């Protein structure tokens, strides 16, 4: 089977490509290799992918409408894993147009490519940021998510709505994955765990927001990729919805009562989180232990767009694909620190 992975030189995209290639699939990847963070890290990930069998790459911006239409028509992938996006909550405050271009226009181009080229299944990255101002923990895919607190979160919620429309209108099977604070080797340098580790190794203070009064559902990259691939292999079908008088499906685009994550369209949503929130100070302690070095902490107020806690309910993921992320942070952080020391020669 041929899979298209967008954002293949990104953190999750890179690891997803490796997983698919290891099991013998054909992978075509695209990425625009932008400079949101150091492009050298993306280029080094890409070099590893290009050194494998069954992988092809094209540098391409998903916001380029004609280029994306031409690419889909030429490659005709059977399934699509859409992981390209403008990431980052804080960055969205000062650079909003980057999110409109990539996360809205780009996502529409992906949907159109899938629609016109008979793609069997579109799996796309959403985010825990869609939960926004929600205070009920753990976060469930059946919760209301109508109050985002960042533009980034709003664009990811928009992606879920756009996907449902295409699932209903064109019978395109789509599955959205709400990722929770993914970490691990080859990770994103703008993420807190990465910034903490490098700063401690280089003897610089670390910036700890909300004076450390935060919890995050840190999720190890191998667990995330396992969830992505299991979901990819499970193409959603229509759930039973309203019936006509003769007992047939009415075709109404109705949500399944009590389950906003499911629909009479071939549409699903899942959380992928470790379902074990960790106090930020404890997470820093785990990094310190792995490094054998203490951090100097600069305590700062909460940043706009941040939330005090995230906590994933993964019951739906476990029920449908038989998997729940479970890597302890002690194991995941040790692996990340070992990679960081080696990659940066620290």
Active-site residue set: 152
Q: What angle do CA 53, 223, 61 make, to 5 degrees?
A: 55
Q: What angle do CA 233, 177, 269 make, to 5 degrees?
A: 85
């Amino acid at each position: 089977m041929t899979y298209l992975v967008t954002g293949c030189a990104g953190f999750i995209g890179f690891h997803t490509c490796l997983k698919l290639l290891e099991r013998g699939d054909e992978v075509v990847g695209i990425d625009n290799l932008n400079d949101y963070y150091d492009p050298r890290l993306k280029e080094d990930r890409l070099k590893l992918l290009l050194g494998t069998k069954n992988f092809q790459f094209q540098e391409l911006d998903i916001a380029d409408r004609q280029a994306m239409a031409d690419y889909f028509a030429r490659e005709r992938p059977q399934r699509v894993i859409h992981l390209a996006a403008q990431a980052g909550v804080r960055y969205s405050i000062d650079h909003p147009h980057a999110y409109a271009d990539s996360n809205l226009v780009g996502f529409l181009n992906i949907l159109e490519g899938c629609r016109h080229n008979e793609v069997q299944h579109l799996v796309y990255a959403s985010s825990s940021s869609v939960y926004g101002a929600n205070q009920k923990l753990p976060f469930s895919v059946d919760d209301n998510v109508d109050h985002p607190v960042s533009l980034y979160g709003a664009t990811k919620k928009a992606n879920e709505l756009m996907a449902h429309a295409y699932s209903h209108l064109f019978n395109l099977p789509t599955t959205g994955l709400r990722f929770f604070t993914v970490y691990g080797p080859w990770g994103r340098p703008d993420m807190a765990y990465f910034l903490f580790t490098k700063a401690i190794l280089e003897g610089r203070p670390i910036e700890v927001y909300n004076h450390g009064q935060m919890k995050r559902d840190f999720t190890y990259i191998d667990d995330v990729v396992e969830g992505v691939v299991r979901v990819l292999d499970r193409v959603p079908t229509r759930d039973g919805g309203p019936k006509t008088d003769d007992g047939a499906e009415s075709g109404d685009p109705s949500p399944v009562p009590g389950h906003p994550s499911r629909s009479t369209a071939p549409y699903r949503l899942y959380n992928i989180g470790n379902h074990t929130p960790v106090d930020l100070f404890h997470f820093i302690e785990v990094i310190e232990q792995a490094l054998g070095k203490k951090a100097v902490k600069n305590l700062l107020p909460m940043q706009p767009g941040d939330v005090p806690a995230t906590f994933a309910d993964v019951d739906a993921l476990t029920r449908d694909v038989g998997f729940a992320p479970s890597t302890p942070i002690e194991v995941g952080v040790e692996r990340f620190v070992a990679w960081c020391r080696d990659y940066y020669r620290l």
